[in-house]
Amino acid sequence: MSVTLLAQLSDLHIVPAGERLDGRIDTAAGLRAAVATVTGWPQAPDAVVLTGDLTDAGEPAAYAHLRQLLVPLAGIPLWPVAGNHDDRSLLRATWLTDAAPALAAALAGDGEGAAADGFLQYTVPVGTAGLRLVVLDTAEAGQPWGRLCPRRLAWLDRTLARHRDASVIVALHHPPFDSGIAVMDRIGLREGREGLAEVLAAHPQVERVICGHLHRNVHASIGRVPVSCAPSPAHQIALQMDPQAPGGWILEPPGLHLHRWTGPGQLVTHLVPVGRFDGPHPFGR
- Residue ranges per domain, the chain? 4-273
pLDDT at res. 94: 82
Q: Does 47 have pLDDT greater than 90?
A: yes
- The yes-or-no verdict on residue 284 having pLDDT over 90 is no
What is the arithmetic mean of pLDDT over 236-264? 94
Identity at 139, one-letter amino acid code:
A
pLDDT score, position 92: 85
pLDDT bracket for residue 3 (50, 70, 90): very high
Higher pLDDT, 195 or 279: 195
Query: Residue 99 — very low, low, confident or very high, per pLDDT cuts 50/70/90?
Result: very low
CATH architecture, range 4-273: 4-Layer Sandwich (3.60)
Q: What is the pLDDT of residue 112?
A: 45
Q: What average pLDDT score do residues 217-236 get? A: 97
Residue 88 above 80 pLDDT?
yes
A 10 A CB-CB count for 263 gives 14
B/e letters for 93-116, b = 16+ CB within 10 Å, e = fewer, are: ebbeeeebebbeebbeebeeebbe
Tens-digit pLDDT profile for residues 172-189: 999 999 999 999 999 999
Q: What value does the mean pLDDT take over residues 22-40?
A: 96
pLDDT on residue 279: 86
To the nearest whole number, what is the mean pLDDT of the chain? 92
What is the pTM assigned to this prediction?
0.94
**pLDDT at residue 106, as a whole number:** 72
Residue 102 pLDDT level (bands cut at 50, 70, 90): low
